Amino acid sequence: MNVNIEAAIAILMISFFVLVIIRLPVTFALIISTALTMLYCKIPLMTMVQQMSKAVNSFSLLAIPFFILMGEIMGAGGISSRLLEFANVCVGHLRGGLAHVNILASMFFGGISGSAVADVSSLGTLEIPMMEKAGYDRPFATAVTVSSACQGLIIPPSHNMVLYSMAAGGISVGRLFWAGYAPGILLGVCLMILCWFMSIKRNYPKGERVPLRHAVKVTREAFFAIFAMVIIVGGVSCGLFTATESAAIACIYSFLVSMFIYKELKMRHMPKVLSNTVKTLAMVYSLIAAAGAFSWILAYLRIPARVTDLLLGISDNRFVVLILINLILLFLGCIMDMAPLVLIMTPILLPVVQKFGMTPIQFGIVLMLNLGIGLCTPPVGSCLFAGCAIGKISIEETTKALLPMYAVMVVALLLITFIPAITMTLPNIVMP
């Protein structure tokens, strides 16, 4: 290259962060910074267009619209209330029962919708008023709702995992799905232990045990919702169909359950469901296209290799480097949305962690959890904003109440980072 590489990198990074800081949508920030860098490097802008087209021209990405549509259908079809009732049957009788119900319901719902924001929006409207009425502090109720939503990002299905699979070079979506279960459950258990201790300290109430007959009825109704996860993960891992095909089948299944079994989804609801799906899909696909061009210029300027050399130059100690990577991801998660970070940071950091023996599967889960924590933190945490809006409480109050949850989530993150077996045992057994 007959250009100053350092100057090109400076143009790319400075222009991108300046545009993000002035609140330009990330998609446009990626496109403009890429275009400016290509003009400086005398690369035809048609190359950017080609890379954008190439980025979205992937069969595996077809799973994303189906996952999004499935989440919208289930959100409108009475799924959240049934999962909440089922969670109450399981853990509602414990000290701080409604907090445990909140976390377990998020685990179930997140595992169906794959969206943390959808989790907060759907379940929060039910859970926060319910907890406040039972005697829980509103900041605590909101904090539990917001923090528990992170589980939905790592418990499959998750369209962000499909994005990561593409950004990581087409690794197995099925193995990623299976890898998410144990870390997601670990995170949920850690939050439940914290809530148990806080409930004892603050004397939050116990719930009553649900009568057996009612428990059976609730379990039977919730079964149809939870079975969607079985279709997706089971079908992919058994080789019956691809991730895209499983998403399409689960979408049809969700529609049939919501309309004919639960009977809460009506045809008059479908225009809004489809409209929400298209809006979300437009944002996701435009972001994928822009990130495709941005990733190409990153590779052209050899930025991933430079970052690898930089981090290895700081230390060759595995512990230090992985801690440093987690800190970088936590910081970026606080100031940027999840999807662009998945697409941008994967090609940069994946080569680094592989040098220290971390598999792409494990790194995918570590990445998801890091950025998921970012969704719960100011200044741009979408889960935090959604929770505050639903709970009618300030961001400051919620953030203060979230501090113990942040600590617990970071502990879970460190365990997942440094104990590969937590992530890799299930995929190695099921899909060796």
> 34 and 12 in contact (C-beta within 8 Å)?
yes
> 170 and 141 in contact (C-beta within 8 Å)?
no
Structure tokens at 314: 């700081």
**Per-residue model confidence (pLDDT) at position 25:** 82
Q: Which residues of 134-155 are buried (b: 16+ CB within 10 A; e: fewer)?
A: eebbbbbbbbbbbbbbbbbbbb
**Per-residue model confidence (pLDDT) at position 93:** 75
| Average pLDDT across the chain, whole number | 83
d(CA 73, CA 269) in angstroms, rounded, equals 9
Res. 119: pLDDT tops 70: no
**Per-residue model confidence (pLDDT) at position 323:** 93
d(CA 264, CA 195) in angstroms, rounded, equals 33
> 121 and 99 in contact (C-beta within 8 Å)?
no
**Per-residue model confidence (pLDDT) at position 266:** 85
Give 354-374 pLDDT, tens digit per residue: 988 899 999 999 999 998 888
> 36 and 45 in contact (C-beta within 8 Å)?
no
Nearest in space to 229 (alpha carbons), one of 213, 250, 208: 250
**Per-residue model confidence (pLDDT) at position 81:** 73
> Which residue type sits at 158?
S
**Per-residue model confidence (pLDDT) at position 37:** 93
Least confident of 31-40, 187-196, 271-280, 374-383: 374-383
Res. 114: pLDDT tops 60: no
Q: What is the mean pLDDT of residues 394-422?
A: 91
**Per-residue model confidence (pLDDT) at position 122:** 66
Q: How confident is the model at residue 425 (pLDDT cuts 50, 70, 90)?
A: very high
**What are 95's strand-pairing partners?**
206
* CA–CA distances in Å: residue 56 to residues 49, 143, 287, 291: 11, 36, 10, 10
d(CA 79, CA 282) in angstroms, rounded, equals 25
Res. 386: pLDDT tops 80: no
> 114 and 368 in contact (C-beta within 8 Å)?
no
Res. 1: pLDDT tops 60: no
**Per-residue model confidence (pLDDT) at position 366:** 94
At CA 228, angle to CA 227 and CA 229, rounded to 5?
90
Res. 5: pLDDT tops 80: yes
Record the pTM.
Answer: 0.79
Structure tokens at 356: 């220290």
Res. 115: pLDDT tops 70: no
**Per-residue model confidence (pLDDT) at position 89:** 81
Q: How confident is the model at residue 380 (pLDDT cuts 50, 70, 90)?
A: low
d(CA 210, CA 111) in angstroms, rounded, equals 24
Give 305-336 pLDDT, tens digit per residue: 787 778 878 888 889 999 999 988 888 887 77
Q: What is the mean pLDDT of residues 41-57?
A: 88
Q: Where are the domains of the chain?
A: 44-430
DSSP secondary structure, 285-327, as one string: HHHHHHHHHHHHHHHHTTHHHHHHHHHHHH---HHHHHHHHHH
Percent of the chain residues topping a pLDDT of 70: 94
Residue, of 85 and 347, whose pLDDT is higher: 347
**Per-residue model confidence (pLDDT) at position 424:** 93
Residue entry with tokens 């113990």: 404
Q: What backbone phi and psi angles, to 5 degrees, belong to 273?
A: -60, -45
> Which residue type sits at 98?
L
**What are 206's strand-pairing partners?**
95
**Per-residue model confidence (pLDDT) at position 77:** 76
**Per-residue model confidence (pLDDT) at position 70:** 80
Q: Count of CB atoms within 10 A of residue 319's CB?
A: 11
Q: What is the mean pLDDT of residues 59-66?
A: 75
Q: What is the mean pLDDT of residues 288-303?
A: 84
**Per-residue model confidence (pLDDT) at position 60:** 66
Q: What is the mean pLDDT of residues 28-49?
A: 91
